[in-house]
Amino acid sequence: MLETGSTGFMLLAASLVMLMTPGLAMFYGGLATKRNILGIMIQSFVSLGWTTVLWVIFGYSLCFSGGQGGIIGNLDKAFLHGITPGTMYTNGKIPEFVFIAYQMMFAIITPALITGAFVNRVNFKAYFIFLTVWQILVYYPFVHMIWGGGLLAVWGVQDFAGGVVVHATAGFAALASVFYVGARVDKNSTPNSIPLVAIGSGLLWFGWYGFNAGSEVAVDTVTSLAFLNTDVAASFATVAWLFLEWSHAKKPKFVGLLTGSIAGLATITPCAGFVPLWAAPIIGIVASVMCYMAVQFKNKMNWDDALDVWGVHGVGGVLGTILLGIFAAKSVNINSADGLWLGNSSFFFKQVVAAVVGATYAFVFTYIMLVIINFITPVKVDEASEKTGLDYAIHGEKAYDEGAL
């Protein structure tokens, strides 16, 4: 029987997750150089349109139709065939249309996360092909395997809101893209607008309540737990990163504080509705320490992940999935397993395997895919375009009219 409260909440949650993609565009746009603001922002905004097209045609069906225990679904619900406004989602509380819209917002933002790694270096045509193929052959299979009743779900892997499905796959795909396209001509470029970064970060944090709490797909006690766990972990991570960088750089950095919040949000994502509240501060602090160390390691290795997608989302997604294997508790969510701290080493092992498999597959597939795309159209821009900036060289636009008063 339809629950109007749950339906209304899920519509709001879907709206919040949709808002995260413009928020991401602002976050990345502020971190980019002045000549590449539009180039990075359009890569997020184009996903709003194109991913929706793919989702309606066959994406939703491949993720959530058939294929029980398998790697991918079928095309029974292609073009949303057989689904009407009166068709209910499997929990019987909300219309399936609402669930379709909610999950579509996840599909939109996931590939957009990758773009921060190769800012200022990738042709838009190549990115458009990448956006299409990566969703079909990386994102859709992992959604199905974990959330659509597929292989990993049957095995017992859990992921409340996207540790493997979203962050680990996107983060390690980002690292593969960095290895393929190489470094920028000018690696010392600085953010063009830290206030824009702050606005984007705020929108991401705000939207993340829909991302995590909405993943319960109902309004109940787990929804409130996921909401509060999200905020607590993010807050502890924010403060931990601030003090870590303050100690290391001898100054409290605003961009660092904002980055810490995203690290905490990414890491709590797979855990949000499956762990007790007391675990959230631990997860947040561990997230900041490990992601900060990953970023420092990346810098030491001279990997030009421009906006730290791997260090924040990739490491955060893998870390959160493993921490779920430690702190999960049936006492807070009957649909959860007990974690390692309650003596369930088997579940912990499954979470580790899922994290490693997801990260490895995304990395290897992404690298191979970029090699193939390069035969179709050049992936990396030429040096002249990079120096000019992609805003003008590719899009023929500028973010700011420098001649205006």
pLDDT in tens, 369-385: 999 999 999 999 999 99
Contact (Cβ atoms closer than 8 angstroms) between residue 395 and residue 401: no
The encoded tokens of residue 89 equal 């989602």
The vertex-33 CA angle with 300 and 367, nearest 5°, equals 55
Burial 46-55 (b: 16+ CB within 10 A, else e): bbbebbbebb
Q: Is 371 exposed, middle or buried, given 0-12, 13-18 or 19+ CB atoms closer than 10 A?
A: exposed
Average pLDDT over residues 296-315: 96
Q: Is the pLDDT of residue 242 over 90?
A: yes
Average pLDDT over residues 293-301: 96
Average pLDDT over residues 144-168: 98
pLDDT in tens, 74-92: 999 999 999 999 999 999 9
Question: Does the reported pTM lie above 0.85?
Answer: yes
The encoded tokens of residue 230 equal 């999200």
Alpha helices in 115-217 (DSSP H): 124-134, 140-147, 151-155, 169-181, 194-213
3-state secondary structure of 74: coil
Q: Which helix (DSSP H) or strand (DSSP E) does residue 370 occupy?
A: helix 345-376
Q: What is the pLDDT of residue 186?
A: 79
Q: What is the pLDDT of residue 47?
A: 98
Q: Is the pLDDT of residue 405 over 60?
A: no
Q: Is the pLDDT of residue 188 over 80?
A: no
Among 181-195, 275-289, 315-329, 336-350, name the one with the lowest average pLDDT.
181-195
Sign of the Cα pseudo-torsion (169, 39, 44, 283, in order):
positive
pLDDT in tens, 335-357: 999 999 999 999 999 999 999 99
Contact (Cβ atoms closer than 8 angstroms) between residue 251 and residue 283: no
Q: What is the pLDDT of residue 404?
A: 55
3-state secondary structure of 380: strand
Name the percent of the chain lying above pLDDT 70. Answer: 99
Which region holds residue 250: left if phi is over 0, alpha if psi is between -120 and 50, else beta?
Answer: left
Q: Closest by alpha carbon to 23, among 121, 123, 109, 120?
A: 109
Cα separation, 31 vs 374, whole angstroms: 27
Contact (Cβ atoms closer than 8 angstroms) between residue 389 and residue 36: yes
Q: What is the pLDDT of residue 189?
A: 76
Contact (Cβ atoms closer than 8 angstroms) between residue 305 and residue 311: yes
pLDDT band at 403 (very low <50, low <70, confident <90, very high): low
In order of their start, the domains of the chain are 4-389 (1.10.3430.10)
Average pLDDT over residues 327-341: 97
Contact (Cβ atoms closer than 8 angstroms) between residue 359 and residue 175: no
Q: Is the pLDDT of residue 194 over 70?
A: yes
pLDDT in tens, 35-83: 999 999 999 999 999 999 999 999 999 999 999 999 999 999 999 999 9
Cα separation, 177 vs 305, whole angstroms: 9
Name the percent of the chain lying above pLDDT 90. Answer: 97
First to last CA, the chain: 59
Q: Is the pLDDT of residue 187 over 90?
A: no
Cα separation, 109 vs 119, whole angstroms: 16
The encoded tokens of residue 226 equal 């996921």
Average pLDDT over residues 237-243: 98
